Structure 1
Amino acid sequence: MTDDEARNICKTYVDTYLDKIHRISSTQDASMNAIIEYVTNKCVEDLILTEDIEVARSALDVLMMKELTRNAISIDSIQTQIQAGVQEALVDLHEATEEADNKVRNMLSRINTLTRCNPLTPPDMTTKTTTTTTTTSVSLRASSINIHPNAKWAQNGITVAGGNGRGSETNQLAHPWGLYVDDDETIYVADWGNHRIVEWKSGAMNGKVVAGGNEAHQLYAPRDVIVDKESDSLIISGCGNGRVVRWPYQNGTSGETIISNIDCIGLTMDENRSLYVVDNEKHQVRRYKIGGAQGTVVAGGNGQGNRRDQLSKPRYVFVDRDHSVYVSDNETHGVMKWEEGAKQGIVVAGGQGPGNSLTQLNAPQGVVVDQLGTVYVADWGNDRIIRWPKGATQGTVIIGRNGEGVQSNQLDCPVGLSFDRHGNLYVVDFGNHQVQRFNIE
């Protein structure tokens, strides 16, 4: 689902409800306008992540409660107003929801029809490879340096990409997702809302578009990117058009489709240049070796569920030196580890249902693992980064102890995660349209 599609859906629900109660947002007081804007934006962010229309319906519950209590000045008056108006409010809510459901159903039907009539990828999954003379010098997603188990990071982040509001200028990003940090601290960002990959040199005020466009031969809503130095190319998951592409770094104007017909989100590569790809729709991770055509399931692949041999809407993947696969599993709210050749995984972080305790995660996204086996997770729903030592039953919050926000010590829906070679932590701050670096102390 694209940013525009999610925003149209959320606005349909919000506007339908406001029309039902005969209130127009532009004529409300400042506080009501702010709430409407906040609810709409939060709906968009959550809908992009979950692709669950129930998110948009829930937004109306918030507006209904605000409308019921808008003139209340005390706890008693809040209770009185709710009791007096709740029946009528529930009727309005129900009618508005049904009306919006029908509008959105028609909207999605048109989108699906257009997609079927204008497919962006071939119907069959195929893999193409580039022949090279060596299989070494692959730059991995996370640094291989040791990080002390009690290491601390600065709590105030430094903006290293974006940070100038949502937009398409070279100093802006629009709902970024994955990132890759190179050896020289150059950052590559999957700029989801702008359908492009942006390169930010260390200390740069502006980025450079190195891949992009939403034509069939270009990009559409990319969610992750890595660098393959052997082929001097970027490998990109183009979630919106269901494929993985290899994009030449030097003067590339289009990408080569290497995997098609896949709902890909996260991807990574091991030292042998085997590619690991998360298939969100099929609830699995597949490994594609050089010269391989179909790939091998290395995690999940047994349908959607919470059994140890299953995944449920997996997001991002990390592979360690032993070729164990770590997967952030969105709907089981945990991180699972699958050793090489294993038929089942084990939960190494979260997995206790959604929540904000130190034993829980809420829709985890980016995941990286250090040499000690410590797992670091972007805890999307809790706006924090949490560290989970090997064998631990609970984690510790290392970044984002101050809730959702725009300050340098806050995050808003963190997604992508990576270290540089010094141990500094890079976080894609999805809701604030930026990448933050938290320096190791």
Structure 2
Amino acid sequence: MFFILLMLFINGIEVFSINQHKFCPTAKWNSDASTFNEKIIAIKGSSMFIDKKNTIYALSRDKARILIWPSGQIQPIIINCTTEARLHFMFVSNIGDIYISATDNTITQWIANTNEFVDIMTLGTLCWSMFIDVSDNLYCTMLTHHKVIRMFFKGDILMNIKEIAATGFGGSGPHELERPHGIFVDTNFDLYVADCDNQRIQFFLSGEKNGKTVAGRTSLDITITLHDPVSIVLDADKYLFISDSLNHRIIGSGPNGFRCLIGCRSEDVESDQSISPAHLTFDVDGNMFVIDYNDARIQKFDIEKDSCVNVPTTIQTVYSSTLTTNHSMFSRTIFNNSNYYYEAIQIAVTKNDFYILTGNSTINLYGFLYKDFFSPFIPTANLIAWYGNCCDKEQFKFTLELKIGIKYILVITTYNPRVIGSFSIILFGSNMVHFEQIGE
């Protein structure tokens, strides 16, 4: 794998044809969307594509046509397809070739250099979504067969087809999928699947048959509730962006945990628009494009340029302590017993501002930040930020706004159960902040 990535770098070829940004932890998108084009097909499961030249590709609503808008161009280039079937999904390679699935169960390749169509193969079912990895392998989600396959090519010749996720029988086990939709394959060839009817995002390490739930139902960790996730994108830091279709919202993960980005209904975030999101992607500027399948349109949500804050690197507070066997225990995961030692620390700020909270230890920490109160018996209530990792010195790094008069509780525990050891919390910002241990 390292050799593949090295050759891509030497030859000046982008690893992916899609846009993967490095977003700041506080990035926001304007909830007042603009409609990109009224003539785009936008049924559930259809797709669009934006490459690294900001060329926009979409599928025609009424005919078997591909529409292409080079950056800044108003009128599209039209490519008439050879099939009479309805086009369903597309993926564009680094060299501009377009792979298309259609409702007659075919996969076709449009070759940019020759302006010709080539039949790749006919499956026993519709290829619901596709992805091309850094080795130019083509992946296909077979929704009604409950699995993901990978097609290996040598030149233009299809050499073999391999099932890489699930068994072909629907189910909710770690080795199973139920009507999978969107997929994403990272540079390590690890696979992420929007496991729609299981209400979760599954992560399959390359070569592994058992997946791990990284969001939604059956996750051991606290994540977020999903209702029919249908599309997934990873950013440059491998954080997730999810079309949570029947919750009518877009979800994002980050160093502060999961949060709602578009279609939110909460005290702090209110949206004036209702959206039924299908396919999700980003342009070169970080603007978000979402197919709204109920209203048959593509919605563009502009990134708010001033949403990224610069927190001073001045250390305002350092809090040090040690987790011991005398500390209380709770369950930081959903299904496990209360076997994680924790320490609760009250935080009070002297000025409304953005701050950075980081954890540091030789043990693997997990941090949770609560607003107003914390109950070890309901660890998801009032939770506003949470993150942990198994092997980093700086295991969590929260960047968020804290306000005067609000009680914040930082709960420090560990990634693995029944672990004790010393830790320190460092707070960066412009103003003094007070830390005080609760209980014990």
- Per the normalisation by structure 1, the TM-score is 0.58
Q: 2:98 corresponds to which residue?
A: 234
1:268-303: CA deviation from partner (whole Å, max 9, x where unpaired):
111111111111122111111223433222211252
Counterpart CA distance in 2 for 1:174 and 1:302 is 28
> Does the 8 Å contact 2:231/2:279 carry over to 1?
yes
1:148 aligns to 2:5 (yes or no): no
1:42-93: CA deviation from partner (whole Å, max 9, x where unpaired):
xxxxxxxxxxxxxxxxxxxxxxxxxxxxxxxxxxxxxxxxxxxxxxxxxxxx
> Does the 8 Å contact 1:285/1:301 carry over to 2?
no
1:439 aligns to 2:315 (yes or no): no
Counterpart CA distance in 2 for 1:194 and 1:412 is 25
1:171-198: CA deviation from partner (whole Å, max 9, x where unpaired):
4545372111011212112346544322
> In the alignment, which of 184, 195, 198 is matched to residue 318 of structure 1?
184
Counterpart CA distance in 2 for 1:172 and 1:228 is 21
Q: Residues 391 and 224 from structure 1, CA distance in 2 versus in 1: closer, same or farther, beyond 3 angstroms?
A: farther
Q: Residues 384 and 174 from structure 1, CA distance in 2 versus in 1: closer, same or farther, beyond 3 angstroms?
A: closer
Counterpart CA distance in 1 for 2:193 and 2:139 is 11
CA shift at 1:386, angstroms?
0.7
SS of 1:381's partner is helix
1:179 aligns to 2:48 (yes or no): yes
> Does the 8 Å contact 1:428/1:435 carry over to 2?
yes
Q: 1:308 corresponds to which residue?
A: 174
1:158 aligns to 2:24 (yes or no): no
> Does the 8 Å contact 2:229/2:244 carry over to 1?
yes
Counterpart CA distance in 1 for 2:89 and 2:182 is 9
CA shift at 1:418, angstroms?
1.0
Q: 1:276 corresponds to which residue?
A: 139
Counterpart CA distance in 1 for 2:184 and 2:136 is 14
> Does the 8 Å contact 2:214/2:223 carry over to 1?
no
Instruction: Kindly report which structure 2 residues correspond to 1:306-385, keeping only aligned pairs within 5 A, or say none.
Output: 306-351=172-217, 359-385=224-250
Counterpart CA distance in 2 for 1:375 and 1:211 is 34
- What is the aligned-residue identity percentage? 24
CA shift at 1:149, angstroms?
2.7
Q: Residues 269 and 436 from structure 1, CA distance in 2 versus in 1: closer, same or farther, beyond 3 angstroms?
A: same
- Listed as ranges, the gaps of 5+ residues in structure 2 are 1-9, 305-440
> Does the 8 Å contact 1:218/1:255 carry over to 2?
no
- Counterpart amino acid of residue 144 in structure 1: Q
Q: Residues 322 and 192 from structure 1, CA distance in 2 versus in 1: closer, same or farther, beyond 3 angstroms?
A: farther
Q: Residues 179 and 302 from structure 1, CA distance in 2 versus in 1: closer, same or farther, beyond 3 angstroms?
A: same
Counterpart CA distance in 2 for 1:158 and 1:144 is 22
Q: 1:116 corresponds to which residue?
A: none
CA shift at 1:255, angstroms?
4.2
Which structure would you say has the larger Rg?
Answer: 2
> Does the 8 Å contact 1:352/1:360 carry over to 2?
no
- Counterpart amino acid of residue 379 in structure 1: D
- Per the normalisation by structure 2, the TM-score is 0.58
Moved more, 137-146 or 412-421: 137-146
1:13-55: CA deviation from partner (whole Å, max 9, x where unpaired):
xxxxxxxxxxxxxxxxxxxxxxxxxxxxxxxxxxxxxxxxxxx
Q: 1:294 corresponds to which residue?
A: 160
Counterpart CA distance in 2 for 1:136 and 1:311 is 37
Counterpart CA distance in 1 for 2:195 and 2:94 is 29
Query: How many correspondences in the alignment?
Result: 285
Counterpart CA distance in 2 for 1:135 and 1:246 is 24
Counterpart CA distance in 1 for 2:66 and 2:35 is 18
> Does the 8 Å contact 2:16/2:94 carry over to 1?
no
CA shift at 1:146, angstroms?
1.4
> In the alignment, which of 69, 85, 93 is matched to residue 200 of structure 1?
69
> Does the 8 Å contact 2:128/2:142 carry over to 1?
yes
Counterpart CA distance in 1 for 2:130 and 2:153 is 15
SS of 1:289's partner is strand
> Does the 8 Å contact 2:54/2:70 carry over to 1?
yes
Q: What is the Cα-based RMSD across aligned positions, in Å?
A: 3.0
Counterpart CA distance in 1 for 2:275 and 2:140 is 26
